[in-house]
Chains A and B, each alone.
Chain A
Amino acid sequence: MADEVILEYLHMEIVNYIYRSSEKPDQDNCLSKLESIGYRIGQSLVERFTKDGTRFKDELDTMKFICKDLWNFVYKKQIDNLRTNHQGVYVLQDNKFRFLTQLSNGKQYMDYAPKLLALPCGLMRGALANLGINSIVTAEVTAMPACKFQIQIQRT
C-alpha cells in the first residue's frame, strides 16, 4: 500500500530533525526526545483502538494484545516470538522490524539502529502505560533487521 511509505519517511525525518536541532551531538537527550514523541503516539493509539474492546484479563493478555494487534497496526506484522520469565520481564523478538528494513543488513549501520528504535520503544511504553502497566522498554539489535525489545514491568 502506498500510504505506508509516508509513515516511514515521516519517521526518518523526525529522527533527522531531532538530531539536526540539537546543538551539540547529545545522544541521550535526542533519544529521550524521540522516546517521548513515541510515548505520546502510543498513548493516543491504544486509546483509539481499545475503546470498544473488553477489559484485559491479565498482564499476559495485555502483552498478547501488544504483540498481535498493536504490532499489526503499526508494523504490519506480528511479533515473531514472545518470552517471559513470569517475573515481569518480557522479551519480544521481531525478525524483520519494519523501521530497520531500509538499512543494509551488515554491521555498517549498527550505530544508526538506536536512533530508529527510540521512538518505537516509547510507543510501546506509552501504549502499556495507558493500559495500566508502567514499564521500561529497551531495544537491542544483534543482526539487522531483527530486533529484540525488552519490557521490564515496574511494580510499586
Chain B
Amino acid sequence: MSRQGTRGVDPRKVNGELFTLTYGALVAQLLRDYEDDDEVNKQLEKMGYNIGVRLIEDFLARNNSSRCNDFRETADIISKVGFKMYLGITPVVSNWSPAGDEFSLLIENNPLADFVELPPGHNNLNFSNLLCGVLKGALEMVQMDVDVRFVQDQLKGDNITELRLKFLRRLEDAIPVGED
C-alpha cells in the first residue's frame, strides 16, 4: 500500500487542473454541438457572462475593496486581485490607449488552456472566450459597460495571450418599472 505518489499531489494544483479539464470537456462538447466556431465563441461568452454576474458577488464578499476611482484602478484590481484569486495568475496590464479607456491584459500561461492543442480547422475559435464573458458580466454588475475580446492567443501561435478591454460607458442604476 505505497501509493504515496497519488496522495502527495498538491490539492491546490489539483483543483486548478480539475477546473481546466472540466472546461476542456465543455469546449469539446460545444464543438460537437455547433459546427461554427463563432457560435461556440458566442455560447462560451454567454456562459461566462452568467458566471460573471454571480462571481462578482463572491468577489465583493471576499474582498473589502472600495469603489475604483478610475479605470486604471479597475484594471489593477482585475489583474492583481480578481485573476490572482480565482485563477492564480496575475496578467500584466499594458497598452493603455491615450484616453485611458482601453487596455490589454497580457496572460503568459493561461490556466484554461493547459493541456490544450487546437484541432486543425478551428482558426476562429477563441478557446478561452469564457473569460471575456466573465469580465463583461462582472463589470456590468458594478455599473461598467465594457467590451472584452481576444486579440492574441498563444493557442493560435501568438507569443502571448492578450485580452483587450474597452470602457464603453457607465451604466445608470435602472429602477424597475412602477417603483419610485
- Contacts from A to B (Cβ < 8 Å): 1-7, 9-11, 13-14, 16-18, 21, 33, 36-38, 40-41, 44-45, 48-54, 57, 65, 69, 72-74
Which residue among B2, B18, B22, B47 has the maximum number of chain A CB atoms within 10 Å of its CB?
A: B22
Query: What residues of A have a CB within 8 angstroms of the CB of B86 in the complex?
Result: 2-3, 5-6
Interface string of B57-100 (1 = CB under 8 A from A): 01000100000000000000000000001111000000000000
| A6 B18 Cβ-Cβ under 8 A | no
| B50 A10 Cβ-Cβ under 8 A | no
| A13 B22 Cβ-Cβ under 8 A | no
Majority secondary structure of chain A interface residues (helix, strand, loop or mixed):
helix
* B109, CB-defined interface residue at 8 Å: no
- Contacts from B to A (Cβ < 8 Å): 1-3, 5-7, 9, 11-12, 14-19, 21-26, 28-29, 33, 43, 47, 50-51, 54-55, 58, 62, 85-88, 115
Contact of B55 among A6, A21, A44 (CB under 8 A): A6
Take A10-B26, A13-B50 as given contacts and tell me if A65 and B6 are in contact as well, using a CB distance cutoff of 8 Å.
yes
Contact of B29 among A6, A37, A49, A69 (CB under 8 A): A37
Query: What residues of B have a CB within 8 angstroms of the CB of A18 in the complex?
Result: 29
Give CA–CA (A28, B124) in the complex, Å: 32
Give CA–CA (A15, B85) in the complex, Å: 24
Contact of A45 among B1, B2, B21 (CB under 8 A): B21
Query: What residues of A have a CB within 8 angstroms of the CB of B1 in the complex?
Result: 57
| B50 A69 Cβ-Cβ under 8 A | no
Give CA–CA (A69, B4) in the complex, Å: 11
Query: What residues of A have a CB within 8 angstroms of the CB of B16 in the complex?
Result: 3
CB distance from A6 to the nearest CB of B (A): 5
Query: What residues of A have a CB within 8 angstroms of the CB of B47 in the complex?
Result: 13-14, 16-17
Query: What residues of A have a CB within 8 angstroms of the CB of B14 in the complex?
Result: 49, 73
| B12 A40 Cβ-Cβ under 8 A | no
Q: List 20 A-B contacts (CB under 8 A).
A: A3-B86, A6-B19, A6-B86, A7-B18, A9-B55, A11-B22, A13-B50, A13-B51, A14-B47, A17-B47, A18-B29, A21-B33, A37-B22, A37-B29, A41-B18, A48-B21, A50-B6, A53-B6, A69-B6, A73-B15
